[in-house]
Amino acid sequence: MKKYFVLFCLCALLLSNCKDKKEENGKLNIVTTTSMITDLVNNIGGDSINVQGLMGSGVDPHLYKASEGDVSKLVNADIIFYNGLHLEGKLVEVFEKMGSATKTPIALADEIDETTLIGSDYFASSYDPHVWFDIDYFKQFAEKVAIVLSEKDPENKAVFEANKVSYISELEMLQNKVKSVIETLPKEKRILVTAHDAFNYFGKAYGFEVVGLQGLSTATEAGVQDVQKLATFIIEKQIKAIFVESSVPKRTIEALQAAVKSKGHDVEIGGTLYSDALGNAGTFEGTYIGMFDYNVNTIVNALK
């Protein structure tokens, strides 16, 4: 009799370990990397999940290294969502070490049709990872998050589905708004010069020529030649404003402004754009939708 009891306990223990959710308060524990993905997962999961985002506002994902605290969050998570395409360059190794059948971190960018991605020599993935700047891609992220949450927590499937539908309709409203704001800027003025090449997908989707001073990753610094070449380009194209990014030090763009000035011209700093991280939590720019809206208005107002 006792033997069976021990067997029963062992099975129960194994089962409870396999049951990958709902330990403390009956909610899935989810870990996310960038603030864009944290906001998205919060929108789809609502009160039915716990979300811990590793990267706050102003944090550069290209350079981000996991702390010990992060590793324990990752180990205890039911699901891990990240961008992928080597955006989180230094986290990939941690993910690879943790890889197990029950908890494979989910790279949302894997959802996107590869043939539509913008190529890049800077990243091990060979693609530009800044895909969230095309709202259509972000909608695909939303679809995937809803599917994964529903698989892990089928009881709340209807909630996740309803949240997804309403969030996607907000994204569609955002898309329409963005297009109509951009319409007010003459086509020849749609040239976006920023600190690093985060806005190529934005440019492709919404009709801007995009030039980043630093390559695609902030891990490589811009050289003096790049600055001089870009200064000449700004003067030739009569570009009114260039932009700082919240997650990249200002000095690169200030050096460019100084180079334009040394050639006898002026270019304004048109404002700070949110590129690889959202604004402070609790503010409008602390959401994906608010960030996008703010960026587009800042760009269009400064370039007009």
User: Under the rule (CB under 5 A), what is the footprint of Zn ion?
Assistant: 198, 276
In the complex, the smallest distance separating the C-beta of residue 195 from Zn ion, rounded to whole angstroms, is 9
SS3 content of the chain, % helix, strand, coil (to 5): 50, 10, 35
- Residue 182 C-beta-side C-alpha neighbours within 13 Å: 22
Please say which residue, 276 or 285, places its beta carbon nearer to Zn ion: 276
Cα separation, 72 vs 53, in Å, equals 13
Cα separation, 215 vs 123, in Å, equals 10
Please say which residue, 198 or 296, places its beta carbon nearer to Zn ion: 198
Please say which residue, 147 or 205, places its beta carbon nearer to Zn ion: 205
Please say which residue, 198 or 244, places its beta carbon nearer to Zn ion: 198
Q: Which residues contact 200 (CB under 8 A, 6 or more apart)?
A: 118, 128, 130, 133, 210, 212, 216
In the complex, the smallest distance separating the C-beta of residue 214 from Zn ion, rounded to whole angstroms, is 9
Cα separation, 285 vs 39, in Å, equals 11
In the complex, the smallest distance separating the C-beta of residue 244 from Zn ion, rounded to whole angstroms, is 14
In the complex, the smallest distance separating the C-beta of residue 130 from Zn ion, rounded to whole angstroms, is 6
Please say which residue, 88 or 276, places its beta carbon nearer to Zn ion: 276
In the complex, the smallest distance separating the C-beta of residue 247 from Zn ion, rounded to whole angstroms, is 7
DSSP class of 304: -
In the complex, the smallest distance separating the C-beta of residue 33 from Zn ion, rounded to whole angstroms, is 13
Cα separation, 11 vs 17, in Å, equals 10
Q: How would you class 181 by CB atoms within 10 Å of its CB: exposed for 0-12, middle for 13-18, buried for 19 or more?
A: middle
In single-letter form, the type of residue at position 171 comes to: L
Please say which residue, 195 or 302, places its beta carbon nearer to Zn ion: 195
The full 3-state SS of 190-249, as one line of letters, equals CEEEECCCCCHHHHHHHCCEEEECCCCCCCCCCCHHHHHHHHHHHHHCCCCEEEEECCCC
Q: How far is CA 190 from CA 28, 137, 184, 238, 300, in A?
A: 44, 22, 10, 11, 8
Please say which residue, 160 or 243, places its beta carbon nearer to Zn ion: 243
Take residue 172 and report the two structure tokens written for it: 């569609």
Q: How would you class 139 by CB atoms within 10 Å of its CB: exposed for 0-12, middle for 13-18, buried for 19 or more?
A: middle
In the complex, the smallest distance separating the C-beta of residue 88 from Zn ion, rounded to whole angstroms, is 10
In the complex, the smallest distance separating the C-beta of residue 55 from Zn ion, rounded to whole angstroms, is 12
Please say which residue, 206 or 274, places its beta carbon nearer to Zn ion: 274
Beta bridge partners of 211: 193
